[in-house]
Amino acid sequence: MNNQPRLILVPTPIGNLEDITYRAVRILAEADFILAEDTRTSSVLLKHYGISNKLSAFHQNNEHKVLESTIQKILQSKTVALITDAGTPGISDPGFLLVRECLKNDIEVECLPGPTAFVPALVNSGFPTDHFIFEGFLPVKKGRQTRLQLCAKFEYTFVLYESPHRLLKTLQELITHLGPDRRACVSRELTKIYEENIRGSLAELLEYYDSRPVKGEIVIVIEGLQE
């Protein structure tokens, strides 16, 4: 281990617990402590790999409040790992603020390669991947319509994250702004036993999900504007 304080961002599986690297498991076992978005969720992963390490909560509801004290704890340590409930920290999850503050304090930052939900969804969508735009979650209220209007003009494939209870509303809004014939792919329960990738026009996707219960986190990949 490096003798200088460092923060390592460790991607964790987005569903299938086998989707973690040997290096990630080693880092989580050797770190002085682990910052976790949800200690209960992370405990399941750590127990699966026989890792008993101290967990401290670091999530979107407390990251501003505990940022300074967390930096002080890292400065007194050698290696600290940051994990989220699933995927790569900083991608639609806590991480950015801590990384920025670590760099301001000359704390070394590393990010391990690993799971991120939008990558498999993008690749298996069948849409061009040489250029793409990652939008993540749309604003829930303020600025939502403005963002959708901007998305409608994207010439490249773009990617949205969505929760199951908002999927129908989002598909309806996409139809309003992009038209019913724009092609898209809805990926759900990625890497899990019930993984589903449904492709078609926005109108077809709305019809499909309008008659089915929707569970699991969702990635929507949408074809760019065609001239």
Can you give the residue ranges of every domain in the chain? 6-111, 118-222
The CATH class of the 6-111 domain is: alpha beta
Mean local confidence (pLDDT), 124-142: 96
221's CB contacts (< 8 A; 6+ apart) are: 118, 121, 122, 125, 127, 157, 158, 159, 184, 185, 187
**Helix or strand run (H / E) with residue 75:** helix 63-75
Q: In the chain, what percentage of residues exceed pLDDT 70?
A: 99
The whole-angstrom separation of Cα 218 and Cα 186 is: 7
Mean local confidence (pLDDT), 15-43: 96
Give the pLDDT of residue 107. Answer: 97
| pLDDT surpasses 80 at 148 | yes
Environment class of 214 (CB within 10 Å of its CB; exposed 0-12, middle 13-18, buried 19+): middle
The whole-angstrom separation of Cα 36 and Cα 82 is: 6
The string of pLDDT tens digits covering residues 33-55 is 999 999 999 999 999 999 999 99
| pLDDT surpasses 70 at 2 | no
The whole-angstrom separation of Cα 81 and Cα 51 is: 13
Task: State the average pLDDT for the chain.
Answer: 95
CATH 3.30.1490.110 fits 118-222, yes or no: no
Place of tokens 């000359």: 106
| pLDDT surpasses 80 at 189 | yes
